[in-house]
Amino acid sequence: MEDTSKNLTEYSYQYIKQQMEQNVLAPGSRLVNRKLAAELGVSAIPVREAICRLASEGFVEHIQGSGAFVREIGREDLDELYVLRDLLESFAAGEAALYITPQQLDDLQFIIDEMREITALMNE
């Protein structure tokens, strides 16, 4: 029974998150448990758990007495995301560099040379 409950919660989570990503549930939209549960064909419990998870991840905001809403993304949030992305990409590049083969290095050098040529042509 517990696995089924976890699966329904995960299913609800993925559905709501996808709706947010596709802007079907736009920033500021109120998340109504019963409505979402009816759309998904599940009870309100897995939807509530999914919304709590989304809130813990910062995607949803609970407002006392009003309910849960899709969180608005502000300039500060975007700045933080770009900093985190830069850190992750730098780390990933460093890790990848540990395992690069001579052929891959040659391929990268070829791409860099091509890009330089194109840039030079565009700047003429």
pLDDT at 102 over 90: yes
CB 8 within 8 A of CB 46: yes
Q: How far is CA 94 from CA 38, 73, 78, 85, 100, in A?
A: 47, 30, 24, 14, 10
Q: What percent of the chain has pLDDT over 70?
A: 96
Report the chain's mean pLDDT, rounded to a whole number.
Answer: 93
- Number of Cβ within 10 Å of residue 47's Cβ equals 27
Q: Which whole number is the average pLDDT over 2-15?
A: 86
Q: Which pLDDT score is estimated for 41? A: 96
pLDDT digits (tens, 9 = 90+) for 18-63: 999 999 999 999 999 999 999 999 999 999 999 999 999 989 999 9
The HSE-up count of residue 57 (CA atoms within 13 Å, CB side) is: 10
Q: Does the domain formed by 2-70 have CATH 1.10.10.10? A: yes
pLDDT at 2 over 60: no
Question: What residue segments make up the domains of the chain, in order of their start?
Answer: 2-70, 75-122
Q: What percent of the chain has pLDDT over 90?
A: 85
pLDDT at 4 over 90: no
- Number of Cβ within 10 Å of residue 29's Cβ equals 15
- Which residue in this structure is represented by tokens 């939209």? 29
Q: Which pLDDT score is estimated for 1? A: 46
Q: Which pLDDT score is estimated for 69? A: 97
Number of H helices, E strands in the chain: 5, 3
Q: What is the pTM of this model?
A: 0.62
